[in-house]
Amino acid sequence: MGTHFAIKVFTCMKMTLSLIKADIGGIGGHTKPSEKLLETVRNFVKEKGEYLLTDHRVYHTGDDVAILMTHTNGEGNEKVHQLAWDAFVAGTETAKSEGLYGAGQDLLKDAFTGNIQGMGPGVAEIEFEERPNESVMAFSMDKTEPGAFNLPMYLGFADPMWCPGLIVAPEIMQGFTFEIIDTENTEADKVIRLHAPEDLYDIAALLRETRRYVVKSIYSRKYPDEHVVSVSTTRLKNIAGKYVGKDDPVALVRVQKIFPATEEIGACYRNAHFVAGDCRGSHQQPLMPVTINSPSSVHYCVPIVQGITFSMRNGILTEFVDVFDDPFWDHIREKASRKSIEMREQGFVEPSMLPREELEYGGIGERLDKLESRFEIKPD
């Protein structure tokens, strides 16, 4: 009688990281969500996501609530998106009960329709097979638009002056593929794929127009199936047809080994580069790196970016490291403050204030339209 051996086959299950963020209410204006609001969202996700999610975290950037989730359901999963939407709806009810400003501001649809994309909240997602030591960075911005990520992503994945690994690390020497979206096309995603380094000038030509062309995803050239970067590209005004707040984007970036290093990506935010947004979404201001769970600035809501890095194994997240919480970044915050003051001293005159076609409020356009009829053509 023969002996039978049971052979167990292990398959490498793909994990999905989903980062979904929305402005659903702030204390005394666009500052930060209340602790009660945050607790409502945390408790909702913990209770309703128990059998759906592997792990999750809830935190805030300015007045935006972010939900970071790991699961095995893939990108764009209806149940995961429904969970986030319902958590924001629950948080909105708490915001209303406390009289918070802008309660439910980013929830632009009356009911969930199967995918949170195009409904207001910012969404970044990556599905991948975990490496033995999976390292990820998550960035979230407040008071600005998705194009604010264009420069840091270009520097980190296409410029060896900023990312020396592009010329010294064999795993990333072949470069990366940029997927860039035209946000003005609202019928469907209109994207182009360009390869660094050979398409470098074409990538630069598109990414300079931050209000239209935005980095959506980045992929490895050496390992084409490896999705490295995901950026939320939601433009709220394209959904609502009017200004309802800035887009406040998020991004997920896988780092280390076959990707740029954590410090190479983090360094790309030391420019405090000028971005569109700020108070009333109508000005050019520097992007200030701040610590996690910071409130929005009351100096005209200067645009901010927060960054965290973490490891994960089998979908379980470690604690976060706050990447902008060390003495070096105090210097960058001082730099951003100086740049902000200098630009703001120019008041309403371009380029301090955005051009008419980019202003998020309609008052200037309405005023100029009224004045048009008062112009006279003088005879020669």
Q: What is the pLDDT of residues 257-294, one digit of tens each?
A: 999 999 999 999 999 999 998 877 788 899 999 999 99
Between CA 303 and CA 149 the distance in angstroms is 12
Say whether 246 is catalytic.
yes
Residue keyed to tokens 């048009």: 372
Q: Which tens digit of pLDDT belongs to each residue from 301-312?
A: 899 999 999 999
% of the chain surpassing 90 pLDDT: 73
Question: Residue 127 and residue 219: Cα distance in Å, rounded?
Answer: 12
* pLDDT of 174 strictly over 60: yes
pLDDT in tens, 193-246: 999 999 999 999 999 999 999 999 999 999 999 999 999 986 544 433 444 445
Q: What is the DSSP string of 17-75?
A: EEEEEEE--BTTSSS---HHHHHHHHHHHHHHTTTT-SEEEEEEETTEEEEEEEESS-T
**Is residue 145 predicted with pLDDT exceeding 70?**
yes
Catalytic one among 55, 86, 243, 322? Answer: 243
Q: Where are the domains of the chain?
A: 11-129, 130-372
pLDDT tier for residue 12 given thresholds of 50, 70 and 90: low
* pLDDT bucket at 105, cuts 50 / 70 / 90: confident
Mean pLDDT of 372-377: 93
Instruction: Tell me what pLDDT residue 173 has.
Output: 96
Do residues 296 and 62 lie in contact, with contact meaning Cβ atoms separated by under 8 Å? Answer: yes
pLDDT digits (tens, 9 = 90+) for 55-70: 999 999 999 999 999 9
CATH number, domain 11-129: 3.30.70
* Candidates 64, 246, 248, 339; catalytic one: 246
CB 279 within 8 A of CB 297: no
Cβ neighbours of residue 191 closer than 8 Å, sequence gap 6 or more: 179, 180, 181, 182, 216
C-alpha closest to that of 235 among 217, 258, 265, 214: 214
Q: Give per-residue burial for 189-204: e unless 16+ CB within 10 Å, then b.
A: eeeeebbbbebbeebe
Q: Quote the pLDDT of residue 112.
A: 61
State yes or no: pLDDT of 38 exceeds 70: yes
pTM comes to 0.90
Helix, coil or strand: residue 178: strand
What is the average pLDDT value for the chain, to the nearest integer?
Answer: 89
Determine whether 380 is an active site residue. Answer: no
Looking at residue 351, its pLDDT comes to 86
d(CA 46, CA 55): 9
Q: Residue 91 pLDDT more than 50?
A: yes
Res 114 pLDDT > 70: no
Q: Among this protein's residues, is 243 annotated catalytic?
A: yes
Catalytic residue among 23, 142, 199, 248: 23
